[in-house]
């Protein structure tokens, strides 16, 4: 069950259970919200990066996963995307060997976004938030 926190204005936020279906549900609501904002051109890359971060959360954390989108308008507008989970350890960017089945998600986020990072959980919450920014189409 998706916990819709907010989808009004320039911010949209959801909570997902730590279950395999969270990745599919996160992709669907992110794509739908980007469409509502007229940002379908950012859909594929945003959905790909959200999938990677939600999958990381599922592999390493055992609590709810939050996804938050913030549309920041202006001449250098950005889309801020955050994925939060209760595990306090930040993800590590690493070099995956060609035969490794995983280990490329954070590299993908780092290379495909304008910027990215991690911070402690939001406003009194435990855990961490991994975020990235994409430039809004002009």
> 29-83, pLDDT tens digit by residue?
999 999 999 999 999 999 999 999 999 999 888 889 999 999 998 778 999 999 9
Nearest-CA neighbor of 1 among 18, 17, 23? Answer: 17
Verdict on whether the full-model pTM lies above 0.75:
yes
Q: How far is CA 14 from CA 11, 82, 99, 119, in A?
A: 10, 11, 35, 18
Tell me how far apart the alpha carbons of residues 121 and 31 are, in angstroms, rounded to a whole number. 24
Tokens 């308008």 belong to which residue? 73
């Amino acid at each position: 069950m998706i916990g819709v926190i907010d989808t009004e204005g320039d911010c949209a936020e959801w909570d997902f259970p730590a279950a395999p279906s969270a990745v599919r549900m996160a992709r669907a609501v992110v794509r739908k919200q980007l469409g509502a904002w007229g940002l379908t051109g950012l859909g594929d890359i945003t959905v790909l990066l959200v999938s990677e971060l939600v999958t990381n959360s599922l592999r390493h954390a055992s609590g709810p996963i939050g996804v938050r989108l913030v549309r920041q308008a202006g001449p250098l507008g950005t889309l801020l995307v955050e994925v939060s989970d209760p595990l306090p350890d930040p993800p590590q960017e690493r070099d995956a060997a060609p035969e490794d089945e995983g280990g490329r998600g954070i590299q993908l986020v780092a290379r495909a976004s304008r910027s990215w990072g991690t911070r402690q959980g939001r406003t009194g919450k435990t855990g961490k938030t991994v975020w990235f920014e994409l430039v809004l189409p002009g």
